[in-house]
Each structure stands twice: as structure tokens, then as C-alpha cells.
């Protein structure tokens, strides 16, 4: 099974959860990192599928996650516009 297959089924997102963060240097040995209990989760989705889910709530998998605080890796103008549409839709639904 390839990641392309995973991205064509269900919500069209491939998630890689529970990636350990290594952010703090070990004071005793600067070459080693101290244990950090925090975890990172990232998802991979094709741009067209991301825009579709953010604007139409097709699967609501990405749209729901992006209504929470996220750390974007890059800012694409099309994605930023779709995120704004997603936020406005969520606000309208909440006010309804």
C-alpha cells in the first residue's frame, strides 16, 4: 500500500502521529537531547483535496483540524484563502 493509495481513500489525508520532539539539550552532555514528552503530528494531503475540504467540508477531516491552532509549514495563497473560507463557515455555523 503506497501513500498515494492512502491519500485517495477516506479523508485523503495521511497522518504521521506521535513524532517525539527533541528540543532541549541535555546539560550534562550537549551532544544529546533531553527527554521531551511532547509529540508532533503532521498530515500530508494534496493541495486540491485540501482546498476542497476547507471550502466544501467534503470530509471535514482537514477543515475540523484547521479550526484549531496549527503551525503551517508554508503559506500558499490558495490555501490561506481556503482557510479563511473555512473560518467564516465555522463562525456562521456557530452563530446559527
Query: Is 49 or 24 the better-scoring residue by pLDDT?
Result: 49
Q: What is the pLDDT of residue 15?
A: 85
Residue 59, pLDDT above cutoff 80: yes
Residue 81, pLDDT above cutoff 90: yes
Phi-psi region of 12 (alpha: psi -120 to 50; beta: other; left: phi over 0): left
Place of cell 471535514: 60
**Whole-number percent of the chain with pLDDT over 90:** 33
The domain limits of the chain are: 3-95
Q: What is the pLDDT of residue 1?
A: 47
Q: Is the pTM of this model over 0.85?
A: no
Alpha carbon separation from 76 to 13, 47, 73, 79, 83 (Å, rounded): 18, 9, 10, 5, 10
What's the CA dihedral at 46, 49, 53, 55 to 10 degrees? Answer: 110
Amino acid at each position: 500500500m503506497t501513500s498515494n493509495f492512502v491519500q485517495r481513500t477516506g479523508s485523503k489525508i495521511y497522518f504521521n502521529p506521535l513524532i517525539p520532539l527533541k528540543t532541549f539539550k541535555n546539560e550534562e552532555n550537549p551532544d544529546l537531547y533531553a527527554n521531551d514528552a511532547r509529540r508532533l503530528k503532521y498530515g500530508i494531503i494534496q493541495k486540491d483535496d485540501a482546498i476542497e475540504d476547507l471550502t466544501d467540508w467534503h470530509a471535514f477531516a482537514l477543515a475540523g483540524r484547521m479550526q484549531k491552532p496549527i503551525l503551517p509549514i508554508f503559506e500558499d495563497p490558495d490555501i490561506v484563502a481556503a482557510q479563511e473560507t473555512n473560518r467564516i463557515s465555522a463562525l456562521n455555523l456557530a452563530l446559527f
